[in-house]
């Protein structure tokens, strides 16, 4: 049976993201299967009247190249995914990619390349001490350059064992 337990990720001063735990595990599983390379995709869903972002599907998108330090979705796949999502009456609400190495914070390039998509949230999957974990960000641009706001899940034990 599917566990439809919902995660609520809170961003200070911004609408929350709602995500099913099953979907979080699906993303982590996908990223683990593609180690040691970076992998990712998009999250489709809808925005509720109060601005809450409700995730409904993880769409894995093959990278344009194999790299342990960089992920860029193949453009043709990304375009197709956006069209298919709009046809279902949904919208894109977040990007997802993994950081096989490092701490799961967005790189300067991550933020720079997301420029112009300020309504999207960004999920980074990272691996530490045998655990795969999701981190949630909203990217911001300012006169000082790039910055990000981290969102926090509604409970503390937000960790998943990796089958490594
Ligand atoms: Zn990155």
pLDDT tens profile 89-140: 999 999 999 999 988 999 988 988 875 677 899 999 999 887 889 999 998 8
SS3 category, 103: coil
Element (H, E) at 87: helix 75-87
CA-to-CA distance for 115 and 102, rounded, in angstroms?
22
CB neighbours of residue 73 within 10 Å? 22
Ligand 1 centre to CA of 108 (Å) is: 8
Domain-by-domain residue ranges, the chain? Answer: 6-156
Question: Topology of 6-156 in CATH?
Answer: Cytidine Deaminase; domain 2 (3.40.140)
Ligand 1 centre to CA of 130 (Å) is: 20
Query: Sorting pLDDT into bands at 50, 70 and 90, what band is 145?
Result: confident
Ligand 1 centre to CA of 41 (Å) is: 12
pTM: 0.89
Ligand 1 centre to CA of 73 (Å) is: 12
pLDDT tens profile 53-70: 999 999 999 999 999 999
Going by their DSSP bridges, the two strands 121-128 and 91-99 should be labelled as: parallel
The pLDDT assigned to 1 comes to: 36
What the block records as the tokens of 61 is: 């998108």
Ligand 1 centre to CA of 12 (Å) is: 22
CA-to-CA distance for 1 and 94, rounded, in angstroms?
26
Please give the average per-residue pLDDT across 41-46, as a whole number: 96
Q: Report yes or no: 5 and 19 within 8 Å, Cβ to Cβ.
A: no
Ligand 1 centre to CA of 114 (Å) is: 11
Beta strands in the chain (DSSP E): 6-11, 14-20, 40-47, 53-61, 91-99, 121-128, 131-142, 145-153, 160-161
Ligand 1 centre to CA of 84 (Å) is: 25
């Amino acid at each position: 049976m599917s566990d439809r337990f919902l995660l609520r990720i809170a961003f200070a001063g911004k609408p929350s993201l709602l995500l099913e735990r099953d979907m979080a595990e699906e993303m982590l599983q996908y990223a683990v299967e593609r180690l040691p390379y970076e992998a990712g995709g998009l999250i489709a869903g809808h925005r509720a009247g109060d601005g809450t972002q409700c995730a409904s599907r993880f769409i894995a998108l093959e990278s344009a190249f194999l790299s342990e330090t960089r992920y860029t979705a193949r453009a043709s796949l990304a375009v197709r995914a956006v069209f298919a999502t709009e046809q279902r009456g949904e919208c894109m609400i977040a990007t997802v990619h993994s950081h096989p190495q490092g701490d799961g914070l967005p790189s300067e390039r991550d933020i720079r390349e997301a420029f112009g998509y300020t309504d999207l949230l960004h999920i980074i999957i990272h691996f530490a001490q045998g655990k795969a974990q999701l981190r949630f960000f909203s990217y911001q641009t300012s006169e000082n350059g790039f910055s990000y706001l981290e969102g926090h899940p509604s409970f503390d034990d937000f960790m998943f064992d990796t089958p490594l």
